[in-house]
Structure 1
């Protein structure tokens, strides 16, 4: 039993560490290395009811929230509002939480994929799995026009003005298993990036430069 617990903790820790780490202003870059949710965010499975899950969720004021609600809450925080000792990594199919000596993995909706986007003009950072408590984009609190299009069908999935969160990102719940294009316009600049929502796709987009 102890061996199983050790393996589980190690696996979750590995998940958490794959996102942004301690980003404040990003790394100055004009050619980065590749590496608010949509209005009707999907419902997800209820949080685990294990003692470890209850302890961790309670410690960070997340009791009663499912994975979708936790992502929505944490991704909107910035600066001192963020819980300094909580790690929260968004994976394609799950949310990994770690803090206070506890680790919890919560499932995401089977048909939805959460993509967090941080457009930039001068500064960015590498990211693959979005960290809800450490990732920080350059342009916080900015109104941007965002269009997301399904490459196969041509369907426009998103066409709206978004205000980036305090962390410089804005998040979208998209259909799982598609390829598409994100186009962002802000301050007379535009940028575009290709995206995927497959099981091995990044949940963090920091390579969309506005020029």
Structure 2
């Protein structure tokens, strides 16, 4: 059994009530564990999605070759949340679900998906980013994103625009710690990140001041 499927209700981004009701962007209830191999600082070629996952994504208009492609595409769907299809992103897998079924797909490319939602007046508590459930305050907002490790390595330094869900998402190496900084219209916010097995994939504490 893999990481997310062992976690209980309210372990971020995806929780089950009964068999199919979903709660998006919930906080983490307890520290997670992972059986994933150590891939610090590396990234490889991701495995192809299996047929069941492809069919679920296709039913919601998303075509993707790998789980990483699916995460990126679902996060960028140009509609405010919630969507009919959700996807809870963890360290080494993403749980895709709609009202009919749930599919757990491993993230095999050796990278960590980090989602950040800057805000000015309101935010929500989150731990594991739900691609079809989390909704941030600032939609289609021009920003500048910097992701820097504790050792000073700059992983990301680019102009971005938040998606329809108010988030910006980037793939970074696993098993690093550091700081995420977002600047928008002359205001800046920073927060720590942790791309290890216990790290959050959803950063919602970036208060622009």
Give the TM-score normalised by structure 2.
0.77
Question: How far apart are residue 15 of structure 1 and its match?
Answer: 7.9
- In 1, the alpha carbon distance for the partners of 2:44 and 2:181 equals 23
Label 1:86 to 1:77 Cα distance change in 2 as closer, same or farther (>3 A): same
What is aligned with 2:69?
A: 69
Q: Is the 8 A contact 1:53 1:102 kept in 2?
A: no
Label 1:160 to 1:64 Cα distance change in 2 as closer, same or farther (>3 A): closer
Question: How far apart are residue 77 of structure 1 and its match?
Answer: 1.8
Label 1:100 to 1:17 Cα distance change in 2 as closer, same or farther (>3 A): farther
What is aligned with 2:187?
A: 189
Label 1:12 to 1:83 Cα distance change in 2 as closer, same or farther (>3 A): farther
- In 2, the alpha carbon distance for the partners of 1:168 and 1:206 equals 10
What is aligned with 2:46?
A: 44
- In 2, the alpha carbon distance for the partners of 1:66 and 1:16 equals 27
Q: Is the 8 A contact 2:91 2:112 kept in 1?
A: yes
What is aligned with 1:59?
A: 59
- In 2, the alpha carbon distance for the partners of 1:91 and 1:108 equals 9
Provide the alpha-carbon RMSD of the alignment. Answer: 3.1
- In 1, the alpha carbon distance for the partners of 2:46 and 2:10 equals 20
Question: Which 5+ residue runs of structure 1 have no aligned equivalent?
Answer: 1-6, 24-32, 36-40
Question: Aligned residues, how many?
Answer: 186
- In 2, the alpha carbon distance for the partners of 1:17 and 1:196 equals 16
What is aligned with 1:146?
A: 145
Question: How far apart are residue 56 of structure 1 and its match?
Answer: 2.2
What is aligned with 2:40?
A: none
Question: How far apart are residue 113 of structure 1 and its match?
Answer: 0.3
Higher helix share: 1
Q: Secondary structure at the match of 2:175?
A: coil
Residue 13 of structure 2: which of 7, 14, 19 is its match? 19
Give the TM-score normalised by structure 1.
0.76
Deviations 1:7-28 (A, max 9, x none): 99x94895897317468xxxxx
Task: Tell me which stretches of 4 or more aligned residues in structure 1 moved more than 4 Å.
Answer: 12-17
Q: Is the 8 A contact 1:16 1:89 kept in 2?
A: no
Q: Is the 8 A contact 1:43 1:68 kept in 2?
A: no
Q: Secondary structure at the match of 1:44?
A: coil
Q: Is the 8 A contact 1:118 1:206 kept in 2?
A: yes
Question: How far apart are residue 63 of structure 1 and its match?
Answer: 5.0
Question: Which protein is bigger by CA-based radius of gyration?
Answer: 1
Label 1:65 to 1:110 Cα distance change in 2 as closer, same or farther (>3 A): closer
